[in-house]
Structure 1
Amino acid sequence: MSFTSPRDVYLLAGARGVSLFGDLLATTALVLALQERGAGGSAIAAVFIAAVLPEVVFVAVAARIVDRLDSRLLLTATGLVQAAACAAMAFTNGTWTLIGLVAVLGAGLAITAPTFSALLPEMAGPAALGRAMAIGHTANTLGSLAGPALAGLLVGGFGLRVPLLIDAATYLAVVAAGLLFRTHRKGAAGTPPKGRLRGDRLLMTTIGLLAALVLTLNINVVVAVFYIRGPLGGSATEYGLVDAAWLAGMLAGAWLATSIRGDDARLARILAAVFTGTAIVVLSSGFVQKPWQLYFLWLLGGALNGVDNTVLGVLAARRVPEAVRGAFYARFGAIINGANLIGYAAGGALIGHFEPRAIVIGCGVAGVAAAVVFAVPLLNAASAVASSPPGTSSPRSPSPASSGSGP
């Protein structure tokens, strides 16, 4: 299974990995620096909110332009604005000015993320898309691990300016990728793209299930530090190792998923099982007694997360018409980030009123319930797709021919 454009696949993975490294480097450095300056919890929370909220707020704008403008123009122009904003942050001292510039970076991500996602199926080709996604996950994982680790060293040795300037330089990787890609999507400005996703029950119920799980399970992102450092008696190092275990599991799961084969119905059934398994892992984590016991659960949970990311990516690439692929990824990102924001806010509110272990168990129970409830319509939709006559296609998804020609 060779890629349609191997050079572009690796270039895209590298650009996204480097950009993610810079983002996490800057965010971690900013949080550390603000905490050292005596900024309160509201300012720290505002940093994370400002990084994510624009992807929700600007979804309509992103969905409108990603499929209509040339991808090279979008990536280069947005990357330059992000680089300039990040460079300005390096020479800014005001807390809320810094947070405002973080929001500018998030607004840029609302455009570049769906642009990259829409390009990947065309670069990889339908048969090799899973492997291309695993390569991307590898680059993202390396960036996710290196960014926060380096942030502490740089802030301690050089202050906030150096990591922010490094992040500004990483945005130039987005610009370079936009200029160097041989593959690009040529939108027609002002012309509504053809192809819609009206009532694709299989895809919509899959996204609904994922959003429900993100909402219920990501409360634990806020609670985890209190749970590990409190009832489990873990150290700061053990907390970091638990977090890294999930990332390591995601990487393994992404590569494992490249061997999965089957039609859309089979992929949907696999997703229902994987989502349910993830919720069970989180529920089980509420009953451990030592941090080391979480390592194994988080490796398994991360592996399931890596499988669902890859399988869902392949399913979306098959069912979303090429003409509206960018709009789909923009809206998908907004849904998931919106669920993230609600989950983070709920976690912050709950930790002040309940014990960490009780919250973790409650999240696990809610996650399992959500998986069971949403799995029913998902499995019904999968059965409907499986029973469709061979060679037929609905107006809600591309035909086999168009699915192959898009990527």
Structure 2
Amino acid sequence: MAVRKREDEVFGKTPSQPNAAGIDVGGSSHWVAVPARSCDESVREFGAMTEDLNAMAKWLLACGVDTVALESTGVYWIPVFEVLEQHGLKVWLVDARQMKYVPGRKSDVQDCQWLQKLMSQGFLRAAFRPDAEVCELRAVSRQRDILLKEQASWVQRMQKSLVQMNIQLTEVLSDVMGLTGELIIRDIVAGERDPKALARHRHSRVKASTEEIIKALTGNWRPEHLFVLQQSLGMYDDIARHLAECDTKLNAGLTDLGQKSVDLGKAPRSGSKQRKEYDMRQVLANWAGVDLTRINGLGLAAVTKILTEIGPDLSRFPTVKHFCSWLGLSPGTKISGGKVLSAKTKRSVNRVRQALKMAAMSLSHSDSALGAFYRRLCARMDKPSANTAVAHKLARMVYYMLTRGEEFVDQGQQRYEEQQLQRSIVALKRRAAALGFAITPVASGV
């Protein structure tokens, strides 16, 4: 019995599912396997239409199936997952890499049968999928990210058109689509060609002088490049309109989910940019129950990305180690013969992981305890490794705040450095005692 238990721990086995079914998901059809005792025909093929998916769910219920395992194949699994879940079935989304290297499965029929066998014996683990309301926000948030990337690509096309006309706007402005740059480009598209008239849009904070901007705006006005510039600006504005719709949809969804009331302190004056950020922080804090923006490095954008991706409920992760492992931030455990071969983190495209690593990079010049921790790690290892380690620490803070409702309190850089000094002194004394020596502190006046 002890040997069996040890095997289950090693292979990560979950409780057996005797009434489980396996589905091999495809683009045009799905193969479904149920236990052989359930019916005469244990393997059936269903189409991809909604009517076929409903028929699949009814057949599974008729066969006494209560749990279904399906692979994450592209986006084809999403309608299957949702329809089966609507019929009351417990659906497990499993990673195809868990079954990748099993030989002898060369057809869809064998694939679904093998999936059903592994599921019934408890050798598969379900992937994390947030609640339905979080999935709705996640879809809007991801669409917003796509629009931002598309908008940035059209800004690059505008820059290319300007350079081809020898309008060196990038040499005098740090942001072409900032306040000054946008007004200049819109005037150019409207028909203005006089550099002096265009230079009047210079903002007082622009470092370049008016004369420098006039020189940069003196170029060769080619009609084909002006046409491309006009088209690019039109696409930029069109995407901006869709971005505004995404923001409205996202804010409305977040506001509906806010059930609690978290005090964030005194609100800024009405109508200011700080007030808008405060209102958004309040909405996120009401939903999560805690204000994650109090963690150094986690700004409003990072917290929005984290909550819209995973939601505030992390009960699916038994411990903080499971959560960090799912993010791909835990050190690897590639060990052979008692020797650690590699401790690198696995490659991952997890969006929460990316947001945490970006937040960790922003701590390089912070005077907080986390900033001091980041700089101490950079002195010991390369920056990418230090960035991953700090992101791991941020992930643990996020987990504890969301699961325990704890508030984050920054101890400050000075307090952190004092703690590190005391730890170094204790370690030195311990090592000196092991070697038969004693350490005596030097008087401060000497």
TM-score by length of 2: 0.29
TM-score by length of 1: 0.32
Higher share in strand? 2
